[in-house]
């Protein structure tokens, strides 16, 4: 993924904005993996990742802005901040591309811990029956 210049995260937002389309799936390697602090384990495959991002797009974030982007070889490091559930949230997204330029790994980390836990519980509600239940929080 090439750096997006003065607007951090532009390339990544464009991909996520195509969620549910063939263009979205085409951005990923066949066995792409999403590791996230709000999940119990890895989410594997473009279809499962599409479900994850569809769930988060439906009002979980009040606002989200990418504040910094660094590209180093096949890795893109994005820092972001915003609001979720009316509270401050921030984190990092690390994208790793394969030799063909397809995203093979997404690492998505939220902070602080209370938001991580609330986000995880809300994802469990929104994704119940759609993804492997072992990925989702089971605590109340």
Average pLDDT rounded to a whole number, residues 52-70: 92
The residue ranges of DSSP E strands in the chain, in sequence order, are 28-36, 43-44, 61-72, 75-84, 87-97, 103-111
- DSSP H helices, the chain, are 10-17, 22-26, 46-57, 113-127
Length of the chain: 140
Q: Are 115 and 87 in contact (CB under 8 A)?
A: yes
pLDDT the model gives residue 5: 57
Q: Domain extents for the chain?
A: 10-131
10-131: CATH class: alpha beta
pLDDT of 4-47, one tens digit each?
556 899 999 999 999 989 999 999 999 999 999 999 999 999 99
**Average per-residue pLDDT for the chain:** 91
pTM: 0.90
């Amino acid at each position: 993924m090439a750096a997006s210049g003065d607007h951090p995260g532009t390339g990544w937002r464009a991909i996520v904005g195509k969620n549910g389309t063939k263009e979205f799936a085409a951005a990923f390697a066949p066995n792409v993996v999403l590791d996230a602090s709000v999940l119990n384990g890895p989410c594997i495959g473009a279809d499962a990742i599409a479900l994850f991002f569809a769930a988060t797009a439906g009002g979980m974030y009040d606002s989200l802005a990418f504040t910094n982007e660094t590209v180093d070889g096949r890795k893109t490091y994005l820092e972001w901040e915003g609001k979720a559930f009316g509270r401050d949230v921030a984190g990092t997204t690390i994208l790793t591309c394969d030799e063909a330029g397809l995203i093979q790994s997404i690492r998505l980390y939220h902070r602080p811990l209370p938001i991580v836990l609330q986000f995880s519980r809300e994802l469990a509600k929104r994704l119940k029956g759609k993804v492997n239940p072992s990925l989702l929080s089971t605590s109340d």
